[in-house]
Amino acid sequence: DFEDELKKTMGAKYAVATTSGTCSLLASLAALGIGAGDEVIVPGYTFIASISTIMLSGAIPVLAEIDESLTIDVTKIEELITPRTKAIMPVHMLGNPCKLDKIMEIAKKHNLYVIEDCCQAVGASYQGKRCGTHGDIGAFSLNIFKTISTGDGGAVITNDENLFKQLNCFLHNVQMAIGKRIKRTGV
């Protein structure tokens, strides 16, 4: 029910509940196939999960400057793009959306994915459209410190059926691995 309500509220075709915003970001990276040696452009001003999940996926975080809005400075993105760049991860900070029109223009020009980190902006909109629905995938945190909270947890939204299937596959594999570990160790 939560996933159905979330996708309806956000205007997305698909939604998947996760255990946290960190899990949402990690699942998003996995669904997009981002891994060893790939580069992801991310603002330096963010919660550590934005950067650490890139590293956990085996990719390389490329830190971008922020502007006066405390979000990624769109005038600095293109100079950071290399042949190894696979994605831009704009972080909507403190409920403040990034300049998504320019980010999407740059991503399209360079054939890059856009992973919207909406963990600190649940419910925010940009130009009449919910944050998390502009890019390829949107990751959310719903912990107790967020504006909309479920106590803990997170979610991922997308309009791409293939990404939705990849998200579910990744999360299922994580659950199976945890189950096997618990069975083996009792922890």
- pLDDT the model gives residue 89: 98
- Checking if the pLDDT of 187 tops 70, the result is no
- Checking if the pLDDT of 17 tops 60, the result is yes
Catalytic residues: 146
One-letter amino acid of 65: E
Mean pLDDT of the chain, nearest integer: 91
- pLDDT the model gives residue 162: 94
Full DSSP string of 21-54: HHHHHHHHHHHTT--TT-EEEEESSS-HHHHHHH
In this predicted model, what pLDDT tens digit does every residue of 126-183 receive, in sequence order?
A: 999 999 999 999 999 986 665 655 667 899 999 999 999 999 888 877 777 766 666 7
Q: How far apart are alpha carbons 121 and 124 in whole angstroms? A: 5
Instruction: Provide the whole-model pTM.
Output: 0.90
Q: Which segments within the chain are labelled E, that is strand?
A: 14-18, 39-43, 60-64, 85-88, 113-117, 125-126, 129-130, 137-141, 154-158
β-bridge mates for residue 63, sequence order: 42
Span of 65-69, 89-93, 109-113, 165-169 with lowest mean pLDDT = 165-169
Q: How far apart are alpha carbons 186 and 28 in whole angstroms? A: 29
Two tokens, residue 123: 């419910």
